[in-house]
Structure 1
Amino acid sequence: MNILILRSAFALALSFSLAAQAQPAPDRLQRPSPASPMAGRSPLTAIQTLGNRQVMVGDSGHILLRTVDGNLRQANVPVDLLLTAVYFVNDQQGWAVGHDGVIVHSDDGGLNWKKQLDGNDINALISESAEREANRLRQDLLEHPQDAARATALDNALFAVADAKAAHEGGPARPLLDVWFRDALQGWAVGSYGMLLATTDGGQSWHYQSGLDNPDRLHLNTVLGLADGTLLVAGEGGQVYRSLDNGMHWQASITLGPESFYKLLALKNGEILAMGFGGALFASDDSGTSWQPLSNPVKVAVYGGQQLSDGSVLLAGQGGVVLYSDDGEHFKAWRSRSKFPWLGVGQVSSTQVALIGSSGLQILPLIELKEHLQ
């Protein structure tokens, strides 16, 4: 199977050629995810632990629930396309996002899902936003006709209008790559070409946030909210964006290096980890204001992770690599024999973890991992 389907959320540069070559999007958006006894062995892209169970998303709209007794149950999902991220704000309310700009929602713990948004809707939101901005700048230039900067801004806005129109004609091919909710009402989704969406009513309606300092429309791969109300977004080109008012205004972006970031992870002590391409690994202890590089024993892409109940941290990466740290700062590596990429990790129990990736789900004893750390 083409590696492009592994994780568009965390391997974005690879995923777009798949999206461009995909079968007609309306079929995928209207066709339910097929039931399959092999779903647990098909590519899985994201995992979240909810109490004593796990929820996983992946290829063909698959959403799987693993119970404490180890049984897998496939959820009812209305779309048949790659899902890239999942987030439950409590044990009942959850959202998943994926290719073609799809957002699906569950209010029964993940058993049944309904579509809230897709790329067609997003195209309309972006077009409306671009038109509003162009109209505002037209009026502004009428009041200041000699202002070259305003004229340039209007030219850029008109280009954005034309670009939005072209995207609309091209269909709903707008991959969403991550989703996070502060509570059952307020949430955000990020994706390709600088896409940032927000909702204040649990996803019944979404709006496009265009205020991010991202003129080159770099891909936004991950979004995370903090306990102090800070909202962080990170992605292509080592960019980290920070807002103190739920995305209404953004501080100047921070560039931590050339490597793209794929995931932000909040630890229990308030520290944040940013991980990404080429083994990029950074930490912040001041809500994302400043960042320090952490030593990584392997220079492979790191896609996701989880802090375990004992405070240790596991990160999942390319080439079958799992990074382990008992303090969130110093990491050692374990590498599976298969060398298939791991895209996420979840805790099953005090003695077992779940790894997900291109070959599906694997349950691993922690002691086995720790015995082979290097």
Structure 2
Amino acid sequence: MKTPTLTCCSLALGACLLLPGAWATPLPDRLERPSRLSGQAHNAPLVAVQRLADRLVMVGADGHIVLRSLDGQLSQAAVPVDLLLTAVYFVDDQHGWAVGHDGVVLRSNDGGASWRKQLDGRTINTLMLAWAQAEVDRLAAGTTVDEQALDNARFALDDISAGVAAGPSRPLLDVWFRSPDEGWVVGAYGMLLHTRDGGESWAYVSELDNPDRLHLNTLLGLANGDLLIAGEGGRLYRHSAGRWQPAQVLTPASLYKLVQLRDGQVLAMGFGGALLRSADLGRHWQAIKLPSAANLYGAEQLADHSVLFSGQAGLLYSTDLQGFRLLQPSDKALWLGAAALADGTLALVGSRGLRLLGRDELKEYLQ
């Protein structure tokens, strides 16, 4: 197995441009060294944002987790690791998780004010190695040996062993929890882990239809209990009624984000201007033609039900998912996520940190 690099699996979107030389520090040090506190953390690269009832929670470079209160006050949480954080998800206003490089999973029980490490790549390596060895032993002990399956299992064991030798080097790219107890994380090289106790223990999930271990970039839980995962090669995976279904290939382009709108529609977006929508919870998809082939990284539905897409070329705005307008705030940046606030302000995060577009300013762009 190749060692993940910033080029191949930092958010699957070229974060090497944001963080040159970020792997120069030995990996174990990054997992044990707390993130540095800085009065300018909100101006450093930020990757993901979530709005809670009384605050924004943003994660990004160097283990930075930045909070913004309703009155505009910014603060930086103390974080026990100093590495790139790629995603954040709060299941309610108190209980949240953040994930990132080196297989790190962090948990907060106080709305993001404080964080503790629950998992890192060293434990993930142990989980994967134990699974691979058990699979080889199971197949070898069968009364009728499936030689092809046994060869595949032995190859997987060798591959995982090589990855273990590289250290805690598998980035996690997204996280989603159904409740304060049950959740999943996904990442590079087909990484999928599941917890039933709030992240205190994790199980490696091997049943996904992903024999080539393509990167898994995003996951989304639906109201009917299904779980969707999307990633490299435009593949979509569904867990329904307790079983993983065969993968769908939606597009040749890699998918980066899954979003569900208020009317139930599901959007899948990614590289090369790929945008698809589904009106039946992801069973059937329709491609949407865009005015630009720039990469899309996220979407936020506004109060009037219009949608803003964040991406490489700026922002795409649409009222009906048929016509689109390209918006580019004056400080051109790579926008990775957005969150709409109750007062109409739009919070953008990206390569230049946090950018706030006031309601009047946003209206000017949309006129």
TM-score tier after normalising by the smaller chain length: over 0.9
Question: Which residue, out of 91, 94, 97, partners 2:96?
Answer: 94
Does the CA contact (< 8 Å) of 2:66 and 2:75 recur in 1? yes
Aligned counterpart for 1:169 among listed residues 139, 160, 165: 165
Whether the 8 Å CA contact 2:288–2:321 is kept in 1: the answer is: no
Per the normalisation by structure 2, the TM-score is: 0.93
Is contact 1:87-1:181 (8 Å) kept? yes
Write the letter of the residue equivalent to 1:290. Answer: H
1:102–1:42 Cα change, 3 Å: same
RMSD (Å) for aligned C-alpha atoms: 2.0
Residues 136, 9 of structure 1: alpha-carbon distance in 2 compared, 3 angstrom cutoff: same
Q: Is the 8 A contact 1:354 1:361 kept in 2?
A: yes
Over 3 Å counting, the alpha-carbon distance change for 1:269 and 1:282 in structure 2 is: same
Structure 1 stretches of 4+ with a deviation exceeding 6 A read 17-20
TM-score (norm 1): 0.92
- Give the SS at the match of 2:147: helix
2:196 alignment partner in structure 1: 200
SS of equivalent residue, structure 1 residue 242:
strand
Shift of 1:367: 4.0
SS of residue in 1 equivalent to 2:113:
coil
Give yes or no for contact 1:63–1:77 (8 Å, CA) kept in 2.
Answer: yes
For structure 2, the 5+ residue unaligned runs are 1-5
Match of 1:355 in 2: 348
Asked if the contact 1:25/1:172 (under 8 Å) is kept, the reply is yes
Deviation at 1:334, TM superposition (A): 0.5
Q: 1:331 aligns with which of 324, 340, 347?
A: 324
Name the counterpart of 1:275.
269
The residue that corresponds to 2:82 in the other structure is 80
Contact 1:295/1:331 (CA < 8 Å) preserved in 2? no
Matched, 1:254 2:254: no
Q: How does 1:225-304 map to 2 (within 5 A)?
A: 225-245=221-241, 249-304=243-298
Residue in 1 aligned with 2:213? 217
Q: How far apart, in 1, do the equivalents of 2:74 and 2:157 lie?
A: 46
| Residues 174 and 185, structure 2, Cα contact 8 Å, conserved in 1 | yes
State the SS of the aligned residue for 2:300: strand
Deviation at 1:161, TM superposition (A): 0.7
Say if 1:352 and 1:364, in contact at 8 Å, map to a contact too.
Answer: yes
Distance 2:191 2:21 in 1: 16
Return the match for 1:318 from 312, 322, 325.
Answer: 312
Three-state SS of the structure 2 residue aligned to 1:203 is: coil
- In the alignment, which residue of structure 1 is the partner of 2:140? 138
Task: Please tell me whether the aligned partners of residues 47 and 55 of structure 1 are also in contact (alpha carbons under 8 angstroms).
Answer: yes
- Tell me, yes or no, if the aligned pair for 1:35 and 1:74 is still in contact at 8 Å: yes
Specify every segment of 5 or more residues in structure 1 that has no aligned partner in the other structure, as ranges.
none
**C-alpha distance in structure 2 between counterparts of 1:155 and 1:19, whole Å:** 38
Task: Assess if the C-alpha contact under 8 Å between 2:296 and 2:311 holds in 1.
Answer: yes
Q: Corresponding residue for 2:114?
A: 112
CA distance in 2, matches of 1:367, 1:135: 65
Deviates more, 1:328-337 or 1:212-221: 328-337
- The DSSP-based 3-state class of the residue aligned with 2:243 is coil
Distance 1:337 1:307 in 2: 22
CA distance in 1, matches of 2:246, 2:204: 19
C-alpha contact (below 8 Å) 1:84/1:176 kept by paired residues: yes
Which letter does structure 2 place at the counterpart of 1:352?
A: T
Query: CA offsets, 1:100-157, max 9 Å, x none?
Result: 00000000110100000000000011111111111121123xx225xxxx21111110
> Once the two structures are aligned, what percentage of the paired residues are identical?
54
